[in-house]
Amino acid sequence: MSHSAGTGLLKASALAQRKAEYEAILRSIGTEHVLRKGEILRTGNICYLLKGLCILSFYDHCGNETTLIYFEPGRLFNFMPKLVKIYPLQPKTVRRQLPIDAFAVRAKEDCLFLFIDHNVFERELAKSLPLHSLLVQSLTENCENLISHAGNSPLLPAPQRICRLLAEMMAEEPPHAVPSYLSYSEISLHLAIHPITVAKIFKALKEDGITERKGRTLTVADPERLCAIARGMEDFEYKRS
């Protein structure tokens, strides 16, 4: 076994152990709830996702949806109301907040959650270092995802934006599989690119051998070229006769 492979296994083992510790604490103070695919999450509780996939979406005044964050198992969310009360925010930050009804968490798959009452969570937080770690981890990941999404500017060429998303979301190890939930329609929602344009770009990426299908799984066959397009080092023409 190579050194890098061994390091990767140790890291994965440590992460699994830490996740088990978080879940044990949260199970002792929370209750399980199921959210079916397509349903909107309607709760004032803090949520911890055990299974499935859900998304945080923003809806404009016309009802158009934009996907902001993907929540995968092991993520804590809906904790901002409690943080606002515990840690004072700058007045400008408070004034900048958008109406809460403009956002919603929706299940992309059948999901299993732990719901934790805010007051119970606060009491446990005061005596639990692992819970502090989970809170910081979740807050950091959410911020990084939002910054990444904001940085994938609509001013950039559509192929570059899609390649940026694929480079971020594909598996690190070969065959560099792309998550199954990143369908053409989902990418269209996330990046605000017309679905027909998304389909044309993926067709061109396949024709150039950058992506390929292995069964029902989309993989990145040429990650170096994908990353070159993502960084703007190579132009990519997808409007082909």
Query: What are 196-219's pLDDT values in tens digits?
Result: 999 999 999 999 999 999 888 999
Distance CA(209)–CA(78), nearest Å, equals 41
User: Where does the pLDDT of residue 32 fall: very low under 50, low under 70, confident under 90, or very high at 90 and above?
Assistant: very high
Q: Where in the chain is the domain with CATH 2.60.120.10?
A: 3-151
Q: Which two tokens stand for residue 139?
A: 């807050």
Determine what percent of the chain is predicted with pLDDT higher than 70: 88
- pLDDT tens digits for range 6-18: 555 666 788 888 8
| CATH 2.60.40.10 for the 158-230 domain, yes or no | no
CATH topology of domain 3-151: Jelly Rolls (2.60.120)
Q: What is the pLDDT of residue 6?
A: 54
Residue 5 has pLDDT above 80, yes or no: no
Q: What is the pLDDT of residue 82?
A: 72
Q: What is the pLDDT of residue 90?
A: 63
Q: Is the pTM of this model over 0.95?
A: no
Q: Where in the chain is the domain with CATH 1.10.10.10?
A: 158-230
Q: Is the peptide bond before 73 cis (omega within 30 degrees of 0)?
A: no
User: Residue 185's closest CA among 35, 51, 36, 55?
Assistant: 55
- pLDDT tens digits for range 61-89: 788 888 888 999 999 998 877 777 776 66
Surface-to-core class of residue 161, CB atoms within 10 Å of its CB (0-12 exposed, 13-18 middle, 19+ buried): buried
